[in-house]
Amino acid sequence: MGNYTVIQRPSMLVVGIECRTFNAPEEGSHDIPQHWGKFYNEDIINQIPNKVSQEVIALYCDYADAYKEGDYTQPYSLVIGCPVSSLDAVPEGMVAKIIPSGSYAVFRAVGEYPKNLLKTWENIWQQADLGRICTSDYEIYGDKFISGSPKEVEVFISVKDQN
C-alpha cells in the first residue's frame, strides 16, 4: 500500500457538488458518505454539462493553512463531480474547480471498498517525506472501479515538483 509513482498531470476542469468538512472523528466520516449519497440520490452525474467522460472525481481542495502544515484534522472542501471540457455552464448548486497541472503521487486502492481506500489515505497521511503541497488531491472512480474486480480507485496527491 505504500507503493506509489510520481507523474506529471495536466490541469483538469471539474464540475460537481461541494461540501466543507474535516477529518476529526464524527465529521468527515459522517459528511463524506452523506455527500456521496447526495451525489447519487440526486443523480448529479447526469446534470453535469460538457462531461468528457463518465469518470467520477472526488476532489479534495481549499485546505486550511494548518492542514497544509501537517494537521490532517483541519478543514478542506470535497467536490464530487466529473471532468468537463468547459466551465461555461455550471448548474445552480454546483461549483467549478480547476485541478492544477503538476506533480502527483499516484496510489492505487485495490480491493474491498471503502475499507482499502481508507487504508490508502491513512498510509498517505503517515508519509512525512511525500512532499505534499495540498493544492488539489483527488480520487478517480473509473472503469476499474465501476466494473472491475477487484475494485480500484486511483488517488492522486499533489506533491512538490520532482525536477
pLDDT tens figures, 32-79: 999 999 999 999 999 999 999 999 999 999 998 878 887 777 889 999
Report pTM. 0.94
Q: What DSSP letter does each residue of 34-70 carry, written as one string?
A: HHHHHHHHTTGGGG-TTBS-S-EEEEEE---HHHHTT
24 φ/ψ angles, rounded to the nearest 5 degrees:
-65, 150
Tens-place pLDDT, residues 10-38: 999 999 999 999 887 667 788 999 999 99
CB 76, CB 63: distance < 8 Å: yes
Domains and CATH numbers, the chain: 5-158 (3.20.80.10)
